[in-house]
Structure 1
Amino acid sequence: MSRRVLLQEGMRLLRPFRRLILLAAACGAAAGLATVALLATVNRALNQPEGLASGLFGAFLGLCAMTLVGRAVSDILTNRVGQRLVAQVRTALGRKILEAPIAALERYRSHRLLPVLTKDVDMISDIAFLLASLLIASAVTLGCFIYLAWLSLPMFLLLLVSLGLGSIIQYRARARAIRGFRAARDSEDTLHKAYRAISEGAKELRINRRRRAMVFGGQIEATIDRIRAINEGAIRNFVLANTVGSALLFLVIGLLLAWQLLFPAPDQAVLSGFVLVLLFVKGPMDQIIAAIPSLGRAQIAFGRIAELSAGFVTPEPGVTTDRPVPPDRQIDSLALRGLRYAYPASKGSTPFTLGPIDLTIRRGEIVFIVGDNGSGKTTLIKLLLGLYVPTEGEVLLDGRPVTDLDRDDYRQLFTTVFADYHLFEELAEDADGLAERAGPYLERLEIAHKVTVENGAFSTTDLSTGQRKRLALVQAYLERRPIVVFDEWAADQDPTFRRIFYTELLPELRSQGRTLIVISHDDRYFDIADRVVRLDAGRVQAEEVAVAKDPAP
């Protein structure tokens, strides 16, 4: 991402806090100028017989108070801006992720998404605490330079030559370090992906020693060593550059002390003041230089945040976090007409295309969608649910096309248990009477001894895979939505619960007037369905009427 885009994004984020920033800058600058004036006062006191006379002593106390108060106020205001900025970034990213199209989220991948939301945002938070001290250090440094130029212009020019050489070294070191930090940050994504692999694949790694050693040595250990080496090299460049800069500053002080041998001796107060201020200003300068690595990392982090923000810059129409939930309703039919969906082309492979598909599902039907892996079943379900926007064709609800503006309202008709489902502890229904409604289902699915509903939430979701899916089924019962979609629900169940699901639970849901769409490979239960839709290579290969059933009430 270009520096111009980063600057524009930074200005946009900081715009709500411009008054606080200006006030913090003014207080920091006042503290810096008071510090410089305090140095001048001390220099005068050291070079006059009466020392801190009554007038100088009052000025000394006033300048001390101004320095301390200015620093404190600047710190408080800057930290307030930093914390509010971080809160704003976190809120904005959370909102953008919730409102982003599902296809865009799936392309971004969680191992790239999570480090931005955690490590990069935390880096912005950390740098916020440095801003106040950097602001004051910069003001002190600038004020000291102005005071040094006022004391002696020739000596100040000698100082500028020294600092110019040091700045060239610093610039080159910083450029190399920034490249290193960027490479290290890219490796952080790789490391996060490896950590996720050893967490989710712990069982497989435990029974395969060779793979375990390969993952640890080739991915985790190698990536960690690469990050360590890159960061060590980048910091080493900064340290060496700082050392050279300090050496040049001490060289200037040595030359000033030997000034009398080269030029007519200046006033003693000028020379002592120059050396005193140089020794003092080295502290603020070192503080600025020491913060450069953190600023470099913050620049990389901010770039990643801006990249993520730009990736989700186009929210899905009608998807907001504060939009009211539409009232409950029943449906008569759900139809697909000429529906087609093409995945984005990837390098070196032909993208999968689903359709065109024509399909009508009526209220109270049980429709099984079957087919081999890769035939397009999950893609079809995502189109039915309105999670994907069709490339061509349309979805009709009771004969009316579903548009971009009402697609999110359309989704509220569905309850879904995906194959890769996420089970939330909190239930999204009204808590009144929820425990009583959930109890019979928990008993029937034999998980009441482990789970209860308390204060509108499940007491735990720490269950086996099969039990968690049964709990997701309880959630589907409680939501009472007119269309229920199951994606391989029975795949993780034992034969008893598989039989109960197909022969008891599905007919029971159907008797409540619900429409059921089931992805299944259990051909022994296909006769439960009203229709079986077979997919092959993204097309409807066959649509079979299974067994005639009484119409739904």
Structure 2
Amino acid sequence: MTDFKGGFFGLFLRESPHETALIIVLSLLAALFQASALVLVTDGAEGARTGVEHPHHLYYALASILAFSLCKQVALRRAVAMAESTASDIAMRIALRLRDAELQDIERIGADRIHARLTRDTATLSSAAWIAVLSLQIIALLAACLLYVLSVSPIGFCAMAGIVTLSIWAYRPGHRRQEAVAAAASAAEERFFGITRHILEGFNELKVAPAKARELYHRFFLPASEEALERRRELGRHSAWGMVLLDLCIYAILGTVALGLTQMDVITGVVLLLSVTYYLWEHIIGLFSYIPYLMRSRAALRRLDELEQELAELPAAGAGAEAEFEAFELREVRFHYPRRGDSHFSVGPIDLTVRRGETLFVVGANGSGKSTLLKLLTGLYRADEGELLLNGAPVEAADLRPLYSAVFTDYHLFDRLYGVERIDHGLAEGLLQDLQLSGKTRLEGDRFSTTRLSTGQRKRLALIAACLEQRPVLIFDEWTADQDPGFRRYFYHQLLPQLKAEGRTVIAVTHDDRYFHRADRVIHMELGRITDLPQGGVCA
């Protein structure tokens, strides 16, 4: 688990304890050498003013600067490498959990949310490593310099510590608000990017429908953009207030040392203290400038942790195993979609037996439950009631999955035949020829030379890929809907008989009533149930 508690170094300690410990040691050494260089230079300057020479201070200072540069460089390089590795490990863990998750869980979590976590948040996490290391070095430098001030002037140290403590106390409420604003800014940006994705993916539809484009732009895109902008501005205002408070803190220290304690003649090493304070000013400003980035990174880490925990709590999906079958059966199966307002759709009870070598058509009006039935058959949806049987024996849905190759309505066309051990290139060439794709793409090894095809061509290529997997059951969800009449005739008159002759089972959702006679059996879905086929065999 990611577990963002403890911040970046807490995460890194859990992921790579030895490497993190080395980075922390190097960062502390870098701060120590940097403070040593400052002390040696100021001591040398004070000695030159008072006539007390320190002949070796210059060489020690140069050696400290070189050691500081080396430690800082090595710490930053190793931190960036470790952060990239950690981000990759987190992404890999999430990907593996996604592989084992169920479709219902992915739909509930949201594909957009998962994509944002795996891309933007992991990138934010990996890019924040050097900021975290620099922040640690600055804090260590501040601590070392304050200890040095304490050794020179306890009173000056108490004055500086008191002012810094008061400033931190004054800054805390604004910091908490800044964290809330940073989270709100991130959420607003996510909504903005989501609408931007709609514009890019729906470019054609928006281009031919100006009214739709105007409404999307004015009612949704502009408000989302303005909200994200306002959140970023508000975050900037809080950051500016922090910088102003920092300036006030620095001037308070300078004024207290230079004007207050000096006039009271209760402090020694005034020039030294002023030099140290002024030197630290730049580093403190840098530390404050890192805070917004650290907040964004911490928010990204929190979101990654929430997603990983959510996925970890899901029941693991079974992998299934290859099995011979004579028949599989759905018995008294019911499935209920989550209620949305007054809408509540359910499927079942379903009693259905599918036999080996059978060609089965599933017909019915849109929204009747045909695609849901396919998802229940393939185990993409878990049935709320009832049982699945394979060759008469109860099984889990995962046990049926190795039987299937499918082309769903919302299919994804992979450019490679994953998981196919023996590819029949002769069959592939024949199918490409039959479906008029041989001049458009070709199968090179296990990969198609291109998938940049028209909508109908891509769907024909998806069918070819499904056939090449050589699974005993093929599922086609309205495959012919995007095809010309010639390819429909090929599907019903040539491909289906060929598959049947090979002993393969075909389950096809279709509205092509003129071809119903090509099936061994036609089942009709209506309101989530299997009913008698309407008179005349025509489905809306």
Find the aligned partners of 1:284 and 1:340 in 2 and give their Cα distance.
65
Question: Is structure 2 residue 361 aligned with structure 1 residue 410?
Answer: no
Q: Which residue number corresponds to residue 423 of structure 1?
A: 413
- Residue identity opposite 1:63 in structure 2: S
Q: Which residue number corresponds to residue 358 of structure 1?
A: 351
3-state SS of 1:334 partner: strand
Q: Which residue number corresponds to residue 15 of structure 2?
A: 16
- Residue identity opposite 1:361 in structure 2: V
Contact 1:377/1:535 (<8 A) preserved: yes
1:250 CA displacement: 2.0
1:373 CA displacement: 1.6
Q: Which residue number corresponds to residue 158 of structure 2?
A: 157
Q: Which residue number corresponds to residue 173 of structure 2?
A: 172
3-state SS of 1:341 partner: strand
1:284 CA displacement: 2.0
| Paired residues for 1:89-108 under 5 Å | 89-108=90-109
1:44 CA displacement: 1.8
Structure 1 gap ranges (5+): 548-553
RMSD over aligned Cα atoms: 2.5
| Paired residues for 1:204-223 under 5 Å | 204-223=205-224
| Paired residues for 1:128-167 under 5 Å | 128-167=129-168
User: Relative to 1, partners in 2 of residues 1:505 and 1:247: Cα closer, same or farther, differing over 3 Å?
Assistant: same
Find the aligned partners of 1:523 and 1:185 in 2 and give their Cα distance.
51
Question: Is structure 2 residue 468 aligned with structure 1 residue 478?
Answer: yes
User: Relative to 1, partners in 2 of residues 1:205 and 1:278: Cα closer, same or farther, differing over 3 Å?
Assistant: same
Contact 1:177/1:235 (<8 A) preserved: no
User: Relative to 1, partners in 2 of residues 1:431 and 1:437: Cα closer, same or farther, differing over 3 Å?
Assistant: farther
Contact 2:413/2:462 (<8 A) preserved: yes
Q: Which residue number corresponds to residue 375 of structure 2?
A: 382
3-state SS of 1:258 partner: helix
- Residue identity opposite 1:386 in structure 2: G
1:237-285 CA distances to partner (integer Å, 9 max, x unpaired)? 1122212211331232133222466312633xx1122111111111221
Q: Which residue number corresponds to residue 114 of structure 2?
A: 113
- Residue identity opposite 2:347 in structure 1: L
1:342 to 336, 343, 362: 336
1:450 CA displacement: 0.4
Q: Which residue number corresponds to residue 523 of structure 1?
A: 513
1:433 CA displacement: 5.6
Find the aligned partners of 1:52 and 1:542 in 2 and give their Cα distance.
106
Contact 1:385/1:411 (<8 A) preserved: yes
User: Relative to 1, partners in 2 of residues 1:487 and 1:13: Cα closer, same or farther, differing over 3 Å?
Assistant: farther
1:447 CA displacement: 1.1
Contact 1:532/1:545 (<8 A) preserved: no
Find the aligned partners of 2:7 and 2:303 in 1 and give their Cα distance.
12
Mean CA deviation greater in 245-254 or 373-382: 245-254
- Residue identity opposite 2:114 in structure 1: L
| Paired residues for 1:174-253 under 5 Å | 174-253=175-254
1:50-109 CA distances to partner (integer Å, 9 max, x unpaired)? 666344344324322332222122222222221111111111121122211110101222
1:453 CA displacement: 0.6
User: Relative to 1, partners in 2 of residues 1:261 and 1:427: Cα closer, same or farther, differing over 3 Å?
Assistant: closer
Contact 1:341/1:354 (<8 A) preserved: yes
Find the aligned partners of 1:142 and 1:361 in 2 and give their Cα distance.
75
Q: Which residue number corresponds to residue 441 of structure 2?
A: 451
- Residue identity opposite 1:243 in structure 2: V
Find the aligned partners of 2:13 and 2:349 in 1 and give their Cα distance.
48
Find the aligned partners of 2:3 and 2:187 in 1 and give their Cα distance.
20
3-state SS of 2:312 partner: coil
Q: Which residue number corresponds to residue 492 of structure 1?
A: 482
1:203 CA displacement: 2.6
Structure 2 gap ranges (5+): none
Q: Which residue number corresponds to residue 7 of structure 1?
A: 5
Contact 1:435/1:454 (<8 A) preserved: no
Contact 1:334/1:396 (<8 A) preserved: yes
Contact 2:192/2:228 (<8 A) preserved: no
Contact 1:435/1:452 (<8 A) preserved: no
Find the aligned partners of 1:282 and 1:213 in 2 and give their Cα distance.
50
Q: Which residue number corresponds to residue 34 of structure 1?
A: 33
- Residue identity opposite 1:36 in structure 2: A
Find the aligned partners of 1:14 and 1:535 in 2 and give their Cα distance.
56
Find the aligned partners of 2:385 and 2:116 in 1 and give their Cα distance.
36
Mean CA deviation greater in 38-47 or 86-95: 38-47
Q: Which residue number corresponds to residue 286 of structure 1?
A: 285
Find the aligned partners of 1:533 and 1:241 in 2 and give their Cα distance.
69
- Residue identity opposite 2:529 in structure 1: R
1:13 CA displacement: 6.2
3-state SS of 2:331 partner: strand
- Residue identity opposite 1:157 in structure 2: C
| Paired residues for 1:276-355 under 5 Å | 276-317=275-316, 319=318, 326=321, 330-346=324-340, 348-355=341-348
- Residue identity opposite 2:17 in structure 1: R
User: Relative to 1, partners in 2 of residues 1:433 and 1:121: Cα closer, same or farther, differing over 3 Å?
Assistant: closer
Contact 1:176/1:234 (<8 A) preserved: no
User: Relative to 1, partners in 2 of residues 1:358 and 1:326: Cα closer, same or farther, differing over 3 Å?
Assistant: closer
User: Relative to 1, partners in 2 of residues 1:336 and 1:345: Cα closer, same or farther, differing over 3 Å?
Assistant: same
Q: Which residue number corresponds to residue 551 of structure 1?
A: none
1:507 CA displacement: 1.4
User: Relative to 1, partners in 2 of residues 1:18 and 1:5: Cα closer, same or farther, differing over 3 Å?
Assistant: closer
Mean CA deviation greater in 174-183 or 20-29: 174-183
3-state SS of 1:521 partner: coil
- Residue identity opposite 2:395 in structure 1: V
3-state SS of 1:373 partner: coil
- Residue identity opposite 1:354 in structure 2: V
1:479 CA displacement: 0.8
Q: Which residue number corresponds to residue 270 of structure 2?
A: 271
Q: Which residue number corresponds to residue 428 of structure 2?
A: 438
Sequence identity percentage: 29
- Residue identity opposite 1:395 in structure 2: L
User: Relative to 1, partners in 2 of residues 1:531 and 1:260: Cα closer, same or farther, differing over 3 Å?
Assistant: closer
1:328-358 CA distances to partner (integer Å, 9 max, x unpaired)? x542101111111122334x23432211111
Count of residues in correspondence between the two structures: 533
1:159-186 CA distances to partner (integer Å, 9 max, x unpaired)? 2332234323432332222222222222
Find the aligned partners of 2:119 and 2:53 in 1 and give their Cα distance.
53
Question: Is structure 2 residue 398 aligned with structure 1 residue 399?
Answer: no
- Residue identity opposite 2:284 in structure 1: M
Contact 2:474/2:506 (<8 A) preserved: yes
- Residue identity opposite 1:378 in structure 2: S
Find the aligned partners of 1:365 and 1:8 in 2 and give their Cα distance.
59
Find the aligned partners of 1:273 and 1:466 in 2 and give their Cα distance.
79
Mean CA deviation greater in 352-361 or 239-248: 239-248
Find the aligned partners of 2:261 and 2:463 in 1 and give their Cα distance.
90
1:537 to 527, 530, 533: 527
